[in-house]
Amino acid sequence: MPDVTLTTLQSLKQNGEKIAMLTAYDATFAQACSQAGAEVLLVGDSLGMVLQGHDSTLPVTIDEMAYHTASVKRGNNGALIISDLPFMAYSTSEQTLLNSARLMQAGAHMVKLEGAGWLAEPIRLLAERGVPVCAHLGLTPQAVNILGGYKVQGRQEAQARQMRADAMALEQAGAAMLLLECVPSELANEIAQAVKIPVIGIGAGPGTDGQVLVLHDMLGLSLSGRVAKFVRNFMEGQSSIQGALNAYVKAVKDGSFPAAEHGFSA
Ligand code: KIV
């Protein structure tokens, strides 16, 4: 497939074709996921949990993100690479610019920031300087200590109204993409319809423009033994990892994943 760009993702949204995204942290899996047809690889700070064994993403550093981004770039076969700015790596304008530059120079095509309406400022700053941004709303794991755990967000009407307004404000500020994590399916669907930029969901139901899962989760691997409601084990019925990755991309594309049971109600 030709290299995936932002324009490709926008066309997929316009044509109603689902976008398949997976996390990847190294060259071998970047190659396997991109060859399976995933349009987007996310070098997520989830690597702090699934690779390093921490109980949150907070310990992950910018050096580690740059290292894994460079590894993913070497194995990638045409997918668009998004890298997470880790915890507190975008708390000032100077940090935001310098740390985004680290990730872009390591091989990212876009950076991802977690937050809410306040992200408008860093998004504007980066977009004006040529760095596309994915804004991560809903359950934002870097804020787990404020949220009081990994819980569904946007269930109360006031919270839902705020999230809708934030999504539109961030699009207006220049966000290239939104990611909604653990948001009631109906709200995620409304947000995806309200904005023109692609909206990717994880635990956000079937109505978003695309889906992402953490690689280890969809391969049936879990350090804690706990499996989130929105995860499906794609190794079931497959005899190889490549088969499971292919099955994931196919299921996202044909709309069979996520099913209603993988989503949350308000
Ligand atoms: O860090 C990550 O892998 C993520 C996904 C859970 C969306 O942000």
Per-residue pLDDT at 71 exceeds 80: yes
* Catalytic residue (one of 128, 181, 186, 190): 181
pLDDT at 120: 98
Per-residue pLDDT at 91 exceeds 90: yes
Q: What is the pLDDT of residues 36-63, one digit of tens each?
A: 999 999 999 999 999 999 999 999 999 9
Cα 46 to middle of ligand 1, angstroms? 5
Give CA angle at 55 (53, 61), nearest 5°: 70
* Binding residue ranges for 3-methyl-2-oxobutanoate: 45-46, 84, 112
List b or e across 193-221, with b for residues whose CB sees 16 or more CB atoms inside 10 angstroms. Answer: eebebbbbbbbbbbbbbbbbbbbbbbbee
pLDDT at 1: 64
Cα 44 to middle of ligand 1, angstroms? 5
225: exposed, middle or buried (Cβ count in 10 Å: 0-12, 13-18, 19+):
exposed
Q: What is the rounded average pLDDT of the residues 246-252?
A: 98
Active site residue 181: yes
Atom of ligand 1 nearest to the CA of 141: 8
CA-nearest residue for atom 3, ligand 1, is 44
Residue with tokens 């706990």: 226
Give residue 240's identity as a one-letter amino acid code.
Answer: S
Atom of ligand 1 nearest to the CA of 45: 1
